[in-house]
Chains A and B, each alone.
Chain A
């Protein structure tokens, strides 16, 4: 029964007509999985006036885009999206269906899996094809990042997973890539599950997406207070990075929640990650250990962060960081 299901499908999440980062990351991973399976990649794109995004999806790795446009899809709501994607799954029978583990994807995924009656693995950080069975091997953290679990969905199709943003790597955009675009026909069926969006409240502060930053200067409890983040900001400006922080810094109200790195915050993999006054709780390390290069500064020689840092400096951040900022400025001016 599972044999008739073919192809790797991804949900191309867009908000206000812009594709989210994880949508492109999914295409990168889907390409690897499709190569292992000898099949191709299809992106499923829904919204109002979003047709011009189809080419972008092809340029980032989709072989085919299934497009559904409807004025009622101006804002994401659960039921119409679930209806359309369920219809697409029933018609095209994908073997694998991947969704970004965003505030939208983690609402949509379970609703679709519930309706189709298939398994869904949440918030995966690793996806592979099992050699003999060709099943999708889905790896995810559990127990606050303390434990990793490998999960299979052997007898139900599609094999569905939501994938944590910032973990998979998107392909380099290829403007010469071509693909097929299919307009999907479907009439929404109005029912008790439709809801009305009465108001959209945008965050007023211009937000920095720490997942896009190449260098992050992250502060934790050891920074001591919101006013002390200034010295991290100075270092960030000197080196060309952004400021982020641990849950301790966010819970204390020192920095905004959107800047939180960790299991309950964001997963980041910058080229360089400074962990300053961060002890290294497992839930924090779950969000940054894939960084290319980690420098930790902490006065406690036994801090857990030193176990994963490439360079660990035991010392007083209030002395070291300002001097480091000056040295970097001097180097840059040479």
Chain B
């Protein structure tokens, strides 16, 4: 069985801070990590490999620096890794990103494609389902559990107030939640091999069978017209008083606002 896992390198948004003076994002010193939902997706693929036997291929689109997360995937147990990288792919929205990745994946053998539900830098959750659409596959989003049953897949699919157990014919695409599992650590031997004996295969523009009008900035139906730090609300009053005075202060405010 061949499993392709799509992963993305993202800035750790928990570490992103706003410059209080300029009001801009401070990106310097923010660590880059493998997107958490994607890492859970990779772990799910590796567990299928451990249980049923499978070849696990990881693929990412991004700058050359994204090589780091592919090495991390090797160290966790991935078998093959592809880095789709070219200036021509830059500035892509979810439509152009998914058509590029779908075209790249179409060159690989796959029975199952796993993506993370969403990346923590964009939070769109759109690339997975759109890849499935471009490849004409069923997709099951928000996977909490994944099980292979012959030539079918059974997924526990999370909704807001319930879950569905859903069965699909393979090949299929599944988007993984970080709640799916606890990803394994890289092994020291795995890290050594990841850098010494494993090869990341680079694919540039001409390696991907996709039309120019479906890639990069110009192939993106949406464009960002403006981005800005969130407007800062004017702070109200802050008091440091005794417990009784504090309590009375709140009660007075609640009366002023007619809540009490």
Binding site for B on A (CB under 8 A): 15, 75-79, 102-104, 106-107, 109-111, 113-115, 117-123, 137, 141-156, 192-203, 207, 215, 239, 258, 263, 271-272, 281-283, 286, 289, 293-295, 301, 306-316, 319-320, 323-324, 327-328, 331-332
Chain A residues contacting B230 (CB-CB under 8 Å) are: 141, 145-148, 282, 286
- Min Cβ gap B111→A in Å is 13
**Is B130 an interface residue when CB atoms closer than 8 A count as contact?**
yes
Rounded to whole Å, the gap between the CB of A268 and the closest CB of chain B is: 15
Q: Does B28 contact A (CB under 8 A)?
A: no
> Do the beta carbons of A120 and B94 come within 8 Å of each other?
yes
**B166 contacts A332, C-beta separation under 8 Å:** no
Question: Dominant SS at the A interface?
Answer: mixed
CB-contact partner of B159 in A103, A137, A281, under 8 A: A103
Closest to B259 in A: A272
> Is the CB–CB distance between A120 and B126 below 8 Å?
yes
Interface string of B25-38 (1 = CB under 8 A from A): 10000000000000
Judging by beta carbons under 8 Å apart, are B223 and A117 in contact?
no
Q: Which residue of A lies closest to B142 (CB)?
A: A103
Q: How distant is the Cα of A301 from the Cα of B248 in the complex, in angstroms?
A: 19
Which B residues touch A147, using CB under 8 A?
A: 25, 227-230
How many B residues have CB within 8 A of the partner chain? 80
Give the distance to chain A from B199, nearest Cβ to Cβ, in Å: 32
A-B contact pairs, 6 of them (CB 8 A): A79-B138, A103-B158, A120-B222, A144-B16, A155-B221, A312-B239
Judging by beta carbons under 8 Å apart, are A195 and B168 in contact? yes
* B253–A197 CB distance below 8 A: no
Q: Which B residues from 137 to 171 make CB contacts under 8 A with A?
A: 137-142, 154, 156, 158-169
Query: Given contacts A102-B160, A120-B126, A311-B249, is CB(A142)–CB(B227) below 8 Å?
Result: yes
Kindly list chain B residues whose C-beta atoms are within 8 Å of the C-beta of A106. Answer: 125-126, 141
Whether A313 lies near B227 (C-beta < 8 A) is no
The answer on a CB contact under 8 Å between B253 and A119 is no
